[in-house]
Structures are given as C-alpha cells and as structure tokens.
Amino acid sequence: MIRVLEKRKPSTFILFSLVFFAIPVSFGLLSLYLGKDINWDLKNYHYYNAYAFLENRLDFDIAPAQLQTFINPIADIPFYLITKSFPSWVAGFIFGFIHGLNLSAVFLIFWKLSNQDQIWKKKLLGICIVITSGIAPGFISELGNTMHDNLTSVFVLSAILLLLIAIENFEKMEFSSGFVQVSLAGLIMGIGVGIKPSITIFAIGSTCVLMLFLLSHRIKLLIGFITYGFTGIIGGVTSAGFWWWELWTRFQNPFFPFYNHIFKSSYFTSSQITWSKFLPREFWEYFAWPFIFTLDSYRTNQLQFFDIRFTLLYVLCIAWLIISAFRKFYLADQNKVSISDDINRFEVRKGNFLLIFFLVSYILWIITSATYRFMIPLELLTPLCFLIIIDRLLLNKKIKTILVIGATILTFILYKPFNWVRLNWSDSYFMVDTSQFNASDEAIVVMFGKSPTSYIIPAFPPNYRFVRPEGNLGMQQNNSPLLIGIKNLLSQHKGNIYLLYNKDETNIDLEQSLDNLELKASIENCFILNINTPDTLEICRLTPRK
C-alpha cells in the first residue's frame, strides 16, 4: 500500500497519516456529530441476530426478526459486543472510522490514476475528491450505522485498488506480483460478498473488467480468472461458510429463505424472493434513470433526498460520447486528438479500467435492484469518474477547472441528505426497562405485526422465548413448519405468555391474531415498555379463557 503513495519517505509518511488516520478519524467524528442511528434494520435484526448467535438462541426463539432472522450475523457481532461493553458513542465512532476507510481507498485510487507532477496539487485535488465523495447522501446516511453498505463498500474499493496495482504490474511484466494482488483482491471481494451478497454486482463487474484487460494474453486471462474466482470463493466461505452450513443443516437451504425456488425447503414458500420495488417501470426509464431518481428519489430509495452527482456524470458521459464520435469521424487526420498519458492528468489504461468497472456495475445494479444504497461504491467513485471523463473531453485546462469547480459548487448547493432516524447519544445504545419481569419465569413472548421490535430481546431474562407468527416471513400463507412449531409450543406451555406489538402499527388485530394461533386466551395487564427509542411498544399478559 505504501508504494501506492509516494517513493519519497517524508511524503510517504505524510500521506500515510492522511489516508489511514486523518480521513477515517474525520469521518468517525462526523458520525458522532450526526448522532445515534436507529435504523429499521438495526431494530429488526442487526442487534438481535448477533445476540442470538452468541447466546445460541437459534433453536430457542422462532423468527423474532422475521425473514431477516436468517441473515448472516457475522458483521453484526462487533457492533453488539461494543455496545454491550462501552457507551453508545464508542460504537458510532468506531464504525464511522471504519466507514471512513472508503474515502481512504478513493484517495488511493485517485493517487494511482493521477499523472499530476506537482505533489501539492495532487494532494489538494485528492482531498477535494474525498470531501465531495464523502458528502454523498447514501454514504452519509449510513455513516456509523449497521446497514453494512458502507462496510462492504470498503471491501469493494480495496479490491479495485489492488486490481489497479495488479494491472500496473502486468504492464511491467511483473506477473507474479500482479497475480498476488489479484489473489488478495479476490479474497477481499469474496469476504465482502459473504457479509452482504448485494455487492455481488461489483464482484461480477470487477471480474469482467479484469478479464477484458487480460484479453490479449490467453494464458494470463485463464490464470487471472481462476485466481480471482478461486480466492473470491475462499473469501466468501471465510465470512459466510459457517452460516451457509448452519442454514443447510436446519432448513436444507444454505441461503434460507432466499433462492428457495431452487432448494425447495419445506420451511418457506417455493416462490422466489425478489426486490423489485425500485426497478424502472418502463423500458425507456433504463436510459434516463439518473435523471428520474435525481428528480424523484423515492423511485430508488425509501426516504427523500436530492443529489445531482449522477445526473452530472450522465450528462458528461453523453457529451463525451458525442464529441469523441465527432473527433473520430469528422475531423481531419491532422486535427485528431489522441488520448495519451502525455496530455491527460489521469493514466488512460487505469482510467479505462475504473470507467468500465463503473459502467458494468451500474448496468448490473439497475437491472437487479436499482436500490440506491446498494451502489455506495459507485456513489463514492462518481467525482473521480467525472474528473477522468472531463480530462479526456476537454484540452483547455482553464475550461476544465471552471467546469469542475462549477459542478462541485452545484453539487453542494443542491445537496439535500437524508437519514434513517438519528437520536442523541445515550449511555446504552438501547435501554429497555424489564425490571417488572420475573427472571425465573420460563415465559413465551408472542410478537405480532411487522414492526421492528427484536432489539429489545437482549434486555429480557435469557429464559424468555420470543416467537413471531406474523411478519414478512409469511408463515400464515404456507402453514410453515415454523408456524406449526409456534402453535405446538404455545399449546404445551404451562407458564406465562405475553404479547408484544407496536401500538403505532394500526393494522394489527390482536383478537384475530390469537384466533389464528388457536389461542383461547384473554388479553390483560397491558403496559407500555420503558425504552429509549421513539417506538410505542406495548406488552400484555395472556390468561386462559374460562
């Protein structure tokens, strides 16, 4: 990594400090400033899943975090352990620091691509790119939180950086070093995919671009493909293999409940789970998507925001294609402009790698989910890609500078971020008063509705079992063995049974829900839990009907 920065030792030390200390620390502090994040996913499963895995509750509770109960908990465990041992702000800073490494990677990618001779200008431009990338609305919304798009983005950008270094070594005929970097890149990308499969599009995109750049060397192409793919598989097995095996032994589906149309587990419907909410509705929208989601962010995100970076890049790409075609077909030979490292401030071949990776990944993103937060790596790379294209589009340095400054100012002026709900920092991340519950009871808590409520479970006595017959897992529709298990558990239970639901969820019919479970019981002694979130969670005791 140090080779990426600069050969001169004083400059290397300064840049090393900037990249691996100043940048991530800045974003750790920014995370503290933004406040404590309590996003829906955290309350629904990120907090609970780590607790359930560490406390071996996979056979004890039944789907309290709904469908997401069965998502790999490995990335949630550090957050849970930190919040259980330290004040809440410590977790916010640590995760903000880790997420800040995205910008460290962006800076290093820029450093590899830049041909700028004057080091001070190179540093200044790199810092400007970091700032412009760092205010990206998707990235900022998840800074310091547990949705893991910012976390897995670190793996994606690190892998891209390593592949750029590998290409440089291939050009120098240093093939052994190049394949070592390809191996590391594959391993890192695979670990990220194991943590969160939504970044598979970037794994595919990087594979395609790597193969394209090795196309002229058939043997190297084959070796590169095998190396990148094999180490990627090793990385995926490292971060998720244990969980795939866990799900396979329980449900005969290593990705349960996903891809059940293939594995046919009896615990879930055999239909395919798809995330199509944000996909373009008409064919023409695929070609105008940056304009569409810039003007109406609800088309690609659950919350409203405004950011013009993708529209600016899209317009610039169209202009680049038109002008490049004009130069190629209509200008006289003597007036043609060739793209070379001599006249550009960014290395052409490496720049091509980044641009093609961006394009392939974007295409995969728009046809698979079009969910804004699933393209955090592209969001962070947009300013750098903008600079690379404008550098090729225009020859006049003054015009380049004016356009870059203008685009940056426009981005800042029109910028409107969003967040997934943030609160002031508290001593404990989640405070739940459970003093009124007898720790010696072997009680069952039945969770109704679809609201995220499993985050309160770690605060209850460990012998309280939580079951969720309703929610997005759809147990009622297919009479799942999980639902049958819940009914049997309740019918045979001799101790206390409680109901838990969110009073703000208006479409809950408690009596009907009880009838669905064949529970003949009356609802008594209801009270609101004392918690440090805005949720109104009511818990009631069930008594047998006479």
Beta-bridge partner residues of 488: none
In this structure, what is the dihedral angle of CA atoms 286, 289, 291, 292, given to the nearest 10 degrees? 100
Tokens 């980044």 locate to 354
Instruction: Tell me the pLDDT tens digit for each residue of 35-67.
Output: 999 999 999 999 999 999 999 999 999 999 999
Instruction: Dump pLDDT digits (tens) for 121-132.
Output: 888 899 999 999
Residue with the larger pLDDT of the pair 153 and 225: 153
Rounded mean pLDDT, 201-216: 92
Helix (H) or strand (E) segment spanning residue 528: strand 521-528
Query: Following DSSP, what letter does each residue of 356-376 receive, concatenated?
Result: HHHHHHHHHHHHHT--GGGGH
Share of the chain above pLDDT 70, in %: 95
More confident: 28 or 545 = 28
pLDDT class of 529 with cuts at 50, 70, 90: very high
C-alpha distances (whole Å) from 147 to each of 19, 41, 420 are 24, 7, 10
| Predicted pLDDT at 533 | 95
Q: Looking at the predicted structure, is the pLDDT value of residue 539 above 50?
A: yes
Which pLDDT score is estimated for 499? 94
Asked if residue 277 has pLDDT above 60, the reply is yes
Q: Residue 2: is its pLDDT beyond 50?
A: no
- CA of residue 510 relative to chain centroid, distance: 35
Indicate the pLDDT class of residue 338, thresholds 50, 70 and 90.
low
* DSSP-assigned beta bridge partners for residue 528: 538
Mean pLDDT over residues 432-436, rounded?
A: 94
- Distance of alpha carbon 503 from alpha carbon 483, whole angstroms: 23
Output the pLDDT for position 324: 83
Are the CB atoms for 162 and 185 separated by under 8 Å? yes
Q: Is the pLDDT score of 340 beyond 60?
A: no
Q: Residues 168, 169, 170, CA angle at the centre, nearest 5°? A: 90
Q: Which two tokens stand for residue 465?
A: 């079992």
Low-confidence winner among 86-95, 194-203, 433-442 (lowest mean pLDDT):
433-442
Q: Please state, in angstroms and as integers, the Cα–Cα distance from residue 322 to each residue in 285, 312, 327, 333, following that order.
A: 21, 16, 9, 18
228, amino acid identity: Y
* 66-97 core/surface letters (b: 16 or more CB in 10 A; e: else): bbbbbbbbbbbebbbebbeeeebbebbbbbbb
Prediction pTM value: 0.93
pLDDT score for 342: 47
pLDDT band at 120 (very low <50, low <70, confident <90, very high): confident
pLDDT at 269 over 70: yes
The half-sphere exposure of 45 on its side-chain side, counting CA atoms within 13 A, is 21
Q: Under a CB-based contact definition with an 8 Å cutoff, are residues 304 and 296 in contact?
A: no
pLDDT at 164: 96
Round to whole Å and give the CA distance between 150 and 132. Answer: 16
Confidence of residue 3 (pLDDT cuts 50, 70, 90): low
User: What pLDDT sits at residue 186?
Assistant: 98
**Helix H or strand E segment including 502:** strand 497-502
For the segment 121-148, the average pLDDT, to the nearest whole number, is 94
Q: Which residues of 341-354 are buried (b: 16+ CB within 10 A; e: fewer)?
A: eeebbbbbebbbbb
Nearest to 111 by CA among 124, 97, 96, 98: 124
C-beta of residue 202 within 8 angstroms of C-beta of residue 185: no
Mean pLDDT of the chain: 91
Give the Cα separation of 480 and 294 in Å (integer): 42
Q: Out of 22-26, 254-258, 386-390, 394-398, which region has the weakest mean confidence (pLDDT)?
A: 394-398
Q: Which carries the bigger pLDDT value, residue 150 or residue 438?
A: 150
52: nearest Cα among 532, 439, 445, 466: 466
Q: Is the pLDDT at 276 greater than 60, yes or no?
A: yes
pLDDT of 4 reads: 52
The two three-digit tokens of residue 317, written as one number:
């790409």
> Do 293 and 375 contact (CB within 8 A), yes or no?
no
- Secondary structure of 133-182 in the HEC alphabet? HHCCHHHHHCCCCCCCHHHHHHHHHHHHHHHHHHHHHHHCCCHHHHHHHH
| String of DSSP letters for 229-289 | HHHHHHHHHHHHHHHHHHHHHHHS-TTTTTTHHHH--TTS-SSPP---TTS-SSGGGGGSH
Triad 363, 366, 372: Cα angle to 5°: 125
